[in-house]
Structure 1
């Protein structure tokens, strides 16, 4: 089926699998597309969260994330988050994206939402790092070994000269497996057991976990470090402690989302450690140049993302354009 907006409403939507999403969304192009989308803006209602109680283990979550552009496409992502899926050999986050014609509402494409999510999430972190990490940042620590982790490494390497990668995970064997994969791609990668030592030596620390208690301590962050927090998406989730926000210059993907949903900010604000006004800017500000990014080599920068449907729509539009 043609992806042209003039296609008949009765035509069947294109089905786009994960391999096609990964192939079409190279990180340099996707980072550029997100930069343009944040500069231009989109209509993005606050996403819906629906907890799903589980008879055993942690509760699951259903997320509905709509977005549209004036005169352009309409999209919605349907995501489930099942934190205990790792024990079943399944990813914790599973999603489907539906892209609709903005003029008729007819479905244009049904896209693998899980791959779309990891690619756009990693690209958003890279977009932030392109403004906030030091230009010579070459040492990256990745905290977490899930589906998103390798994409974060590749995305950061698209905007910064990443040479060395330290991988930390709760399960050593998973960290070693990821390190081997990254080594095969040309990175000097190794699994590490001492997270504190690895963070102290890092230029960029990128966290993609489902932690409810902080893993990264602010006292470990060296002058000039950039901290990238991706995993937490509810007010009860934390990846870094209060000292991290106290020491850093803070940025978010969107103020509305992060200040309502990110435990890494909601909790220290509630405790009086920082105020909402201590969030310097978001990706709209950075893309539009209304707030400066990194101001000097020794400052610690902090980026917290919870995801926004703007990113999904921009990524889905790029996929369909390239097909």
Structure 2
């Protein structure tokens, strides 16, 4: 028996996710159904915190998923909010996958992209079912215009959602403007508007995405 170990970098992960968004949603759906059938082991997460950096943490998340997956693994994900001011993403992560049969690790993957894609696929899946299995929205409101919001927006648009208007709110209006100019596909919408108040956004939209790491609620 061979015990090959593959190391998969971020660019490869990004290209695969971008080319297979609908498949990502299908896999996330199957994982939720396996969990609902009792075919998963999902222990507590373990938090590594630092006395001199109270807003930072690194989290270990072990899990096993059975049914058609039969794989165990560990996600090791760091959250350093100050990274945003340094010009790079808040989160970084690695994923280790182990064979259920032998326990041997067979893959190590860059996982901040996988984590974002899982979050986005879950959001798109929920939106589809909560919206009566329709992929049409009059107005999408996005509260928190960062990395995760970009992924959710891309998953919605790339899986056939028709969205007339988009409204953006962030505590930093510059982030909203940047999101509008660099993430939104303006030709796909009648209007994309930056709003100054989250409550105004909530009242105006029929589909709302919260993608923040706020310690106190926006609404």
If the length of structure 1 is used for normalisation, what is the TM-score?
Answer: 0.59
Q: Distance in 2 between matches of 1:133 and 1:20?
A: 33
Q: Distance in 1 between matches of 2:215 and 2:112?
A: 22
Contact 1:165–1:187 (8 Å) recurs in 2: no
Structure 2 residue 116 is the aligned partner of structure 1 residue 118 = yes
Q: Distance in 2 between matches of 1:160 and 1:184?
A: 12
Aligned with residue 76 of structure 2, among 70, 75, 78: 78
Q: Distance in 1 between matches of 2:145 and 2:62?
A: 28
Structure 2 residue 27 is the aligned partner of structure 1 residue 33 = yes
Q: Which residue of 2 aligns with 1:47?
A: 44
Contact 1:52–1:61 (8 Å) recurs in 2: yes
RMSD between superposed Cα atoms in Å = 2.2
Residue 102 of structure 1 deviates from its aligned partner by 1.9
Structure 1 residues 67-76 or 174-183, which shifts more? 67-76
Contact 2:34–2:40 (8 Å) recurs in 1: no
Q: Which residue of 2 aligns with 1:239?
A: none
Contact 1:73–1:102 (8 Å) recurs in 2: yes
Q: Which residue of 2 aligns with 1:201?
A: 204
Q: Distance in 1 between matches of 2:74 and 2:187?
A: 36
Aligned with residue 90 of structure 1, among 74, 88, 91: 88
Aligned with residue 62 of structure 1, among 58, 80, 85: 58
Residue by residue, what CA displacement relative to the aligned partner does 1:170-229 show, whole Å, maximum 9, x if unpaired?
A: 11111111111234464433322232222211111111111122212xxxxxxxxxxxxx
If the length of structure 2 is used for normalisation, what is the TM-score?
Answer: 0.84
Q: Which residue of 1 aligns with 2:156?
A: 156
Question: Secondary structure at 1:126's aligned position in 2?
Answer: helix
Residue 47 of structure 1 deviates from its aligned partner by 3.0
Residue 104 of structure 1 deviates from its aligned partner by 1.8
Contact 2:140–2:209 (8 Å) recurs in 1: yes
Contact 2:57–2:79 (8 Å) recurs in 1: yes
Following TM superposition, the consecutive aligned residue runs of length 4 or more in structure 1 with deviations greater than 4 angstroms are: none
Give the 5 Å matches for 1:234-245: none
Structure 1 residues 17-26 or 89-98, which shifts more? 17-26
Residue 98 of structure 1 deviates from its aligned partner by 0.7
Give the 5 Å matches for 1:136-155: 136-155=136-155
Contact 1:180–1:190 (8 Å) recurs in 2: no
Cα gap change, 1:182 to 1:146, in 2 (>3 Å): closer
Give 5+ residue unaligned stretches, structure 1. Answer: 1-5, 217-323
1 or 2, which has the higher strand percentage? 2
Give the number of equivalent residue pairs: 207
Q: Which residue of 2 aligns with 1:103?
A: 101
Q: Distance in 2 between matches of 1:100 and 1:109?
A: 7
Residue by residue, what CA displacement relative to the aligned partner does 1:229-275 show, whole Å, maximum 9, x if unpaired?
A: xxxxxxxxxxxxxxxxxxxxxxxxxxxxxxxxxxxxxxxxxxxxxxx
Question: Secondary structure at 1:178's aligned position in 2?
Answer: helix
Contact 2:43–2:63 (8 Å) recurs in 1: no
Residue 51 of structure 1 deviates from its aligned partner by 4.4
Q: Distance in 1 between matches of 2:48 and 2:62?
A: 18
Contact 1:22–1:119 (8 Å) recurs in 2: no
Give 5+ residue unaligned stretches, structure 2. Answer: none
Residue 64 of structure 1 deviates from its aligned partner by 1.2
